Every structure is written in structure tokens, then in C-alpha cells.
Amino acid sequence: MNALPNALEYLQNISRTSLFNEWTGLEVTRAANGEVELRLPWKEELGQYSGFLHAGLIGTLIDTVCGFTAAAATGKRLLASHYSVNCLSPAIGDVFLARGKVVKAGKRQIFTTAEVFAEKDGVRKLVATGETILMTAVE
């Protein structure tokens, strides 16, 4: 369950404050029932080698979807302190999707996990997983 009544709009507004998120073309497409989904259409400027999404952008998707999922779940200001990325398969696609989940929301730390999928010609494939530890901001 989300702590925020208008989680989708709230996260879309946060995302707009990041010029990097804006430049990449990242969109927040869903925030409901404790799950957040991001969508990143492929463009050549996102590439590591021809056609591959840069591993740094896979990490960006994981860090961002985990942060947004935790923000929607807790309604708190949060900062990532640790994240990790598993590159399972080549990240080749027309569009990339990231989904986050809260594992444990404590008073000071929130543990989250994420999955990243590549869609190519309508076929969806899991290409990466990751996890993030977020800290509540000290007011």
C-alpha cells in the first residue's frame, strides 16, 4: 500500500526535478499497491556498445525505481546509501521497464529490490536485478 494518496503524480513531479531523468527520457508509468514501474525508451545516446543499454543506465533504473517505490511506500524523504546491480543478459531492446518492491521499511533504513526488463519486438525479457538500501533523510 502506498502512504501517498497521489503517488503517481507525486513521483512524476519528483522525476521532473532531475535533469538527468528528463534527458534520458525516463517515465514513471505506474505507482499503485506498493509497486512502481518506470519506462525508458531506447535511444542511441543511452548505449554502451552498439545497441546495448549502458550498465550505468541499468543502475540508474534500479536506483530510481527503488527510491521511488520506497518514497511512495513511506511518504518520507530518502537517500540511497547502497545499491547493487546484477547484469543477467545483454540489455538490448526497444524499451526498458523497471519494477521496484519494498522488502522492509524500517524507521531509518528501507530495503528494496528491483527487476529490469528489455522489450524487443513485443517480447519481454528479464535482463537485470538489483537492490537498494535507502536512509531516511535527517530533518
Which chain residues interact with a second copy by CB under 8 A? 17-21, 23, 44-50, 54-57, 59-61, 63-64, 79-89, 103-104, 106-109, 111, 113, 126, 129, 131, 133, 135, 138
CB-based contact 130:65 (threshold 8 Å): no
**Distance of alpha carbon 75 from the chain centroid:** 17
By C-beta, is 7 or 91 nearer to a second copy?
91
By C-beta, is 29 or 84 nearer to a second copy?
84
CA angle (13, 131, 133) in 5-degree steps: 75
Minimum CB–partner distance for residue 60 and a second copy (Å)? 3
Query: From CA 25, how far away is CA 28, in angstroms rounded?
Result: 10
**Distance of alpha carbon 42 from the chain centroid:** 15
Minimum CB–partner distance for residue 43 and a second copy (Å)? 9
Query: From CA 105, how far away is CA 93, in angstroms rounded?
Result: 33
Could you tell me which residues are beta bridge partners of residue 37?
30, 99
By C-beta, is 5 or 101 nearer to a second copy?
101
Minimum CB–partner distance for residue 5 and a second copy (Å)? 23
By C-beta, is 5 or 13 nearer to a second copy?
13
Minimum CB–partner distance for residue 56 and a second copy (Å)? 3
